[in-house]
C-alpha cells in the first residue's frame, strides 16, 4: 500500500483554491473522484466530510473514474434564487438545484454515476455495515429508518461500507466498501446529534426533494479500511415502528432475493451473472427482518448476532 | 489535419494500448464514453488480458450494458414482428438494429437509443395503427410537432412502448421529401433482404446499408454520434469490401440513388479518421462522381474534422463548437428549403427554451 496522504493534509485555503481551479482528486472506496467547484459551501462541506480520504495526486499514474463539477448557474440565476449545476465530465445529467443543495447534489450525483455505469458490480440499493469480517446488508424501503439505523450502528463500532448501495463483486461475491457520508433526513438529524454528540454532521440543506438533508461523516476507521472487503453474512430488513419492542424474525430467502432484485440498480443489465450472484449471496446469508423503535436496542441486538463461519 | 485523438488511434490499432499510462487510459475511457464507443472499445480490446484494473472495470461495465441492450433489441424486434405480421409488408430494420439482427461485425458493442424501421409509404397508417394496438404510444403530444413530422418528415413521431419503454422510429423514406438529395427509398425497399428465418423482417442490401448510413451521417444527423457512425461505416466497409465486385456495386448504386456525395464523404472521412482501407480505384471513381467543389470541400474538411471527433473536451479546439453548430444548421438546410426551415427553427428555438426544464427530472437514486 503506497503512503496515503489525506485530503486535509492540504490547508483549507490551498484545498479550496485547487478545488476551484484544476479540481481535487480523492479516492472514495473503489473509485477515484475528481471534483471541481468554486462554491464555498461545497469546499467547506467536502473538506469537513472527506478530509480523511486519500488524496490522489495528478500525474501519469492517475486514473480518475468520475470527473465531477458543481458550479453555480450563470446569468440572472447568479443573483435570483441561485442554482447549482452538476456535471459529469462535461455532461449534465440533472436539472440544476437550489444552491443550498450543492453538497447533497454531490452525493446524489456520485450515486448516479456509480449506479448507471458500474455494471462490473452487482449494485443493490441498501446500507451495508460490517463487523469481524462479516457484512450485513440492510435493504429497506424509504421511511424504514435504514440510514438512521446505519448511522447508529456505525457510531457504536460497526464499520460503514455504504449507506446507499451494496457493491458486490461479480468475481467472488464479496461486498466492496465505499464508505461515504450518511444522508440523514428530517428528524434523524437531531436524533443522531443527540445519540452521538461526537459525530461530524454537515450544515443541513432545507427543502430538498427528500426534505431537510444533512450529511454525517463516515467513521475514520471505516475510511481507513476502505480496501477491506467482506462476505455477506446477513440480509436484515429494518423496520422502524413507533414504540415497538425490538424483534428479529426470519424472512424467506425467495422473498429476500426477489426484493433485492427489485431494488438493484443494475440487476437487469447484469443478466444471468447478476441472477447467479444474487442467488449465491442470498443463499449464503441469514435473511431476517428487524423491527425496532430504539437505537440502543438495535445496537445491543446487532452486537449479539453470531455467524457460523 | 488535426492530430488523431487517442481513441481513433486505438480504434485503428487496438495494440496501441500496450504501455499506455493510467493517465492515458483515463483519457481513452473518457473519449470512448463520450463518443458512445466504450462498449465497442471493450469488444476491440477483448483479446488484451493485462489491462489496468480500473480501465478494465469501465470496459466490463460498458460491455455488460451493450450485451443487455443487444438482447432487448432482439426481444423488441420479435415484438415488432408480432405487431406487424398481419400487414404482409416488408419491415426493414435500419442502422444499429439491422447490424445486431444480421449479426454483422458492426454489431458487437454498438449502442442504440431506439429502433429505426422503414416501411412502404402507402402503409404507414396501417403500421402506426398496428403498433398502437400492440401498446406503442406517440411521444410528441404537441400538435405542432405532430403536424410538422407528418407534413414534412420522412418518419412519424417516435413511438414508445407503454410498458417496456422501448422507442421505435417508423420511417417511410431515408430522407425527408423536401431534402436536397432525392434518393428513391422505394428502390431500396424493393431489394431489401429478409433475415434468416424471419420472413417480413429485412435489412437493406450491404451497399444500401452503407449508403443509408452515409446519408444519415452526412446529410441528416446532428453528429452527436458522428464518430460512432463512422465506426459503423468502417466495420461495414471492411467486412463487405472483400467481396467480389462490392466496390463497383456500391458506386453504381450510389449513382442510381443520387447518393454519390454522401458516399464521397463517407469514404473520405472513414479513411481519414479511422484508416478504413479503400481500393484506390474506388476512391478515384467516387471522387469523380461525388466530390464537392474545392472551396466547399475545404469547408467540409474544416467542419467534419472537428465534428467527427469524440464529443469530449479533450478533442475540441477553439472552432469545434462553431463547427458543430454550423453542421447542425446545415443538416436542417439540407432537409428543407429556407422558406420552410426558417419559421420552424424559430419556433423550435423558443420551445426548447421554454421546455428545457422538463427534460431532466433529477434521476437521483431511487428512494
Contact call for A60 and B67, based on CB within 8 A: no
Contact criterion met (CB < 8 Å) for A118 and B365? no
Q: Please write the tens of the pLDDT for every residue from A96-140.
A: 999 999 999 999 999 999 999 999 999 999 999 999 999 999 997
Which of B232, B194, B324, B217 has its CA nearest to residue B265? B217
Is the confidence at residue B287, as pLDDT, over 80? yes
How far is the C-alpha of A84 from the C-alpha of A39, rounded, in Å?
A: 9
DSSP-based helix, strand, coil % in chain B, nearest 5: 60, 5, 30
Q: What is the pLDDT of residues B142-199, one digit of tens each?
A: 888 888 888 878 889 999 999 999 999 999 999 988 888 889 999 999 999 999 877 7
Window A:40-79, CB contacts with B under 8 Å: 59-65, 67
Query: Which of A73, A83, A120 would best serve as a mutation to test chain B binding (most B beta carbons within 10 A)?
Result: A120
Confidence of residue B359 (pLDDT cuts 50, 70, 90): very low
Output the pLDDT for position B261: 96
pLDDT in tens, B22-78: 999 999 999 999 999 999 999 999 999 899 999 999 999 999 999 999 999 999 999
**In whole angstroms, what is the distance from residue B12 CA to residue A83 CA?**
43
Look at residue B361 in the predicted model and tell me its pLDDT.
Answer: 33
Q: What percent of chain B has pLDDT over 70?
A: 93
Q: Which of residues 70-129 of B touch A (CB under 8 A)?
A: 71
State the pairing for strand pair A159-162/A247-250. unpaired
B3-15: pLDDT as tens digits: 889 999 999 999 9
pLDDT for res B358: 32
Q: What grid cell was written down for B315?
A: 478533442
How far is it, in rounded angstroms, from Cα B254 to Cα B289?
A: 9
In terms of Cβ atoms closer than 10 Å to its own Cβ (0-12, 13-18, 19+), residue A75 is exposed
> How does strand A83-88 pair with strand A97-98?
antiparallel
- The DSSP result for B137-204, as a single string, is EES---HHHHHHHHHH-SBPPPEEETTT--EEEEESSSS-TTSSS---HHHHHHT-EEPTTTTTEEE-
The pairs formed by A196-205 with CB atoms below 8 angstroms and a separation of 24 or more are A196/A151, A196/A152, A196/A155, A198/A155, A199/A151, A199/A155, A200/A48, A200/A49, A202/A45, A202/A48, A202/A49, A202/A103, A203/A41, A203/A44, A203/A45, A203/A103, A205/A100, A205/A101, A205/A103, A205/A104
| pLDDT score for B356 | 39
Q: Average pLDDT over chain A, rounded to whole? A: 93
Q: Do A63 and B55 touch (CB under 8 A)?
A: yes
The pLDDT score that the predictor gives to residue A115 is 94
Closest C-alpha among A62, A67, A49, A68 to residue A7: A49
Cα distances (Å, whole numbers) of residue B265 to A106, B215, B296: 43, 9, 12
User: Is residue B364 classed as helix, strand or coil in its secondary structure?
Assistant: coil
| pLDDT at residue B353 is higher than 60 | no
Least Cα separation, residue B188 to chain A (angstroms):
35
The torsion angles phi and psi of A154, rounded to 5 degrees, stand at -75, -15
Report pLDDT for B187: 95
Q: What's the complex ipTM?
A: 0.92
Contact B362 A210 (CB under 8 A): no
pLDDT at A102: 93
Please list every residue in chain A whose beta carbon sits closer than 8 Å to the beta carbon of residue B39: none
What is the per-residue pLDDT across A28-39, written as a single tens digit (0 to 9) for each? 999 999 999 999
Q: What is the mean pLDDT of residues A159-163?
A: 97
Q: What is the pLDDT of residue B365?
A: 33
Average pLDDT, whole number, for chain B?
A: 90
To the nearest whole Å, the CA of B300 is away from the closest chain A CA by: 26
pLDDT at residue B342 in the model: 72
Distance from A118 to chain B by nearest Cα, in Å?
5
Tell me which residue of B40, B13, B41, B36 sits closest to B25, measured CA to CA: B41
Interchain CB contact of A261 with B (< 8 Å)? no
Which residues pair with residue A32 across a beta bridge? A27
- Give strand pairing partners of A183: A215
What pLDDT band is residue B222 in, cutting at 50, 70 and 90? low
Greater model confidence, A208 or A23: A23
Looking at per-residue confidence, does B143 or A15 come out higher? A15
Cβ separation of A119 and B64 shorter than 8 Å?
A: yes
- pLDDT the model gives residue B199: 75
Greatest CA separation for chain B: 61
State the pLDDT at residue B221: 63
Residues B96 and B213: beta-carbon distance below 8 Å? no
Determine whether the interchain pair B61/A125 forms a contact, defined as Cβ–Cβ distance below 8 Å. no
Q: What is the pLDDT of residue B366?
A: 32
Instruction: Report, as an integer, the average pLDDT of B265-281.
Output: 96
A50-100 pLDDT, tens per residue? 999 999 998 999 999 999 999 998 877 777 788 999 999 999 999 999 999
Residue A179: which residues within 8 A CB-CB, separation 6 or more? A28, A29, A159, A160, A161, A162, A218, A219, A222, A223, A226
Amino acid at each position: 500500500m503506497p503512503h496515503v496522504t489525506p485530503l486535509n493534509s492540504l490547508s483549507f485555503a490551498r484545498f479550496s483554491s485547487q478545488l476551484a481551479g484544476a479540481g481535487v482528486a480523492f479516492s472514495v472506496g473503489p473509485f477515484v473522484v475528481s471534483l471541481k467547484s468554486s462554491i464555498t459551501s461545497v469546499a467547506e462541506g467536502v473538506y469537513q466530510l472527506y478530509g480523511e480520504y486519500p488524496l490522489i495526486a495528478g500525474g501519469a499514474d492517475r486514473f480518475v473514474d468520475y470527473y465531477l463539477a458543481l458550479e453555480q448557474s450563470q446569468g440572472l440565476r447568479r443573483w435570483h434564487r441561485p442554482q447549482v449545476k452538476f456535471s459529469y465530465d462535461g455532461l449534465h445529467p440533472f436539472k440544476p438545484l437550489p444552491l443550498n443543495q450543492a453538497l447533497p447534489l454531490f452525493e446524489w450525483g456520485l450515486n448516479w454515476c456509480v449506479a448507471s455505469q458500474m455494471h462490473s458490480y452487482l449494485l443493490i440499493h441498501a446500507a451495508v455495515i460490517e463487523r469481524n469480517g462479516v457484512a450485513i446488508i440492510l435493504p429497506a424501503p424509504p421511511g424504514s429508518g435504514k440510514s438512521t439505523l446505519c448511522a447508529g450502528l456505525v457510531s457504536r463500532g460497526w464499520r460503514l461500507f455504504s449507506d446507499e448501495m451494496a457493491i458486490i463483486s461479480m468475481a467472488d461475491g464479496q461486498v466492496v466498501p465505499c464508505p461515504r457520508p450518511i444522508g440523514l433526513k428530517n428528524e434523524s438529524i437531531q436524533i443522531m446529534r443527540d445519540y452521538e454528540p461526537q459525530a461530524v454532521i454537515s450544515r443541513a440543506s432545507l427543502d430538498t426533494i427528500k426534505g431537510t438533508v444533512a450529511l454525517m461523516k463516515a467513521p475514520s476507521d471505516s475510511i481507513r479500511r476502505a480496501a477491506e472487503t467482506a462476505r455477506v453474512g446477513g440480509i436484515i430488513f429494518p423496520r422502524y415502528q413507533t414504540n415497538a419492542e425490538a424483534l428479529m424474525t426470519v424472512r424467506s430467502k425467495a422473498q429476500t432475493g426477489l426484493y433485492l432484485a427489485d431494488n438493484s440498480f443494475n440487476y437487469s443489465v447484469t443478466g444471468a451473472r447478476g441472477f447467479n450472484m444474487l442467488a449465491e449471496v442470498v443463499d449464503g446469508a441469514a435473511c431476517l427482518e428487524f423491527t425496532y423503535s430504539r437505537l440502543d436496542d438495535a445496537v445491543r441486538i446487532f452486537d449479539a448476532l453470531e455467524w457460523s463461519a | 489535419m488535426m492530430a488523431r485523438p487517442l481513441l481513433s488511434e486505438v480504434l485503428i490499432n487496438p495494440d496501441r494500448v500496450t504501455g499506455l499510462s493510467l493517465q492515458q487510459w483515463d483519457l481513452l475511457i473518457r473519449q470512448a464514453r463520450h463518443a458512445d464507443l466504450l462498449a465497442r472499445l471493450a469488444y476491440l480490446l477483448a483479446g488484451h488480458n493485462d489491462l489496468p484494473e480500473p480501465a478494465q472495470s469501465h470496459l466490463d461495465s460498458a460491455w455488460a450494458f451493450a450485451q443487455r441492450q443487444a438482447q432487448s433489441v432482439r426481444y423488441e424486434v420479435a415484438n415488432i414482428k408480432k405487431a406487424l405480421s398481419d400487414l404482409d409488408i416488408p419491415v426493414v430494420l435500419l442502422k444499429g438494429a439491422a447490424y445486431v439482427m444480421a449479426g454483422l461485425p458492426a454489431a458487437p458493442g454498438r449502442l442504440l437509443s431506439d429502433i429505426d424501421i422503414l416501411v412502404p409509404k402507402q402503409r404507414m397508417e396501417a403500421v402506426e395503427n398496428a403498433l398502437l394496438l400492440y401498446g406503442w404510444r406517440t411521444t410528441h403530444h404537441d400538435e405542432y410537432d405532430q403536424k410538422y413530422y407528418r407534413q414534412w418528415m420522412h418518419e412519424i413521431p417516435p413511438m414508445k412502448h407503454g410498458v417496456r419503454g422501448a422507442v421505435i422510429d417508423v420511417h417511410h423514406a431515408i430522407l425527408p421529401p423536401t431534402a436536397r438529395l432525392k434518393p428513391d427509398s422505394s428502390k431500396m425497399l424493393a431489394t431489401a433482404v429478409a433475415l434468416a428465418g424471419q420472413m417480413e423482417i429485412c435489412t437493406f442490401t450491404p451497399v444500401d446499408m452503407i449508403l443509408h448510413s452515409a446519408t444519415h451521417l452526412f446529410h441528416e444527423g446532428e453528429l452527436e454520434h458522428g464518430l460512432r457512425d463512422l465506426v459503423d461505416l468502417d466495420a461495414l466497409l471492411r467486412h463487405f469490401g472483400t467481396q467480389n465486385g462490392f466496390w463497383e456495386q456500391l458506386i453504381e448504386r450510389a449513382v442510381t440513388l443520387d447518393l454519390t456525395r454522401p458516399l464521397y464523404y463517407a469514404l473520405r472521412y472513414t479513411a481519414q479518421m479511422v484508416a478504413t482501407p479503400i481500393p484506390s480505384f474506388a476512391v478515384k471513381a467516387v471522387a469523380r462522381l461525388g466530390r464537392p467543389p474545392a472551396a466547399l470541400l475545404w469547408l467540409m474538411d474544416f467542419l467534419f474534422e472537428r465534428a467527427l471527433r469524440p464529443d469530449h473536451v479533450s478533442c475540441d479546439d477553439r472552432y469545434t463548437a462553431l463547427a458543430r453548430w454550423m453542421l447542425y444548421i446545415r443538416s436542417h438546410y439540407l432537409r428543407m428549403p429556407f422558406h420552410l426551415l426558417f419559421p420552424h427553427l424559430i419556433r423550435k428555438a423558443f420551445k426548447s427554451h421554454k421546455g428545457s426544464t422538463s427534460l431532466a427530472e433529477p434521476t437521483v437514486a431511487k428512494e
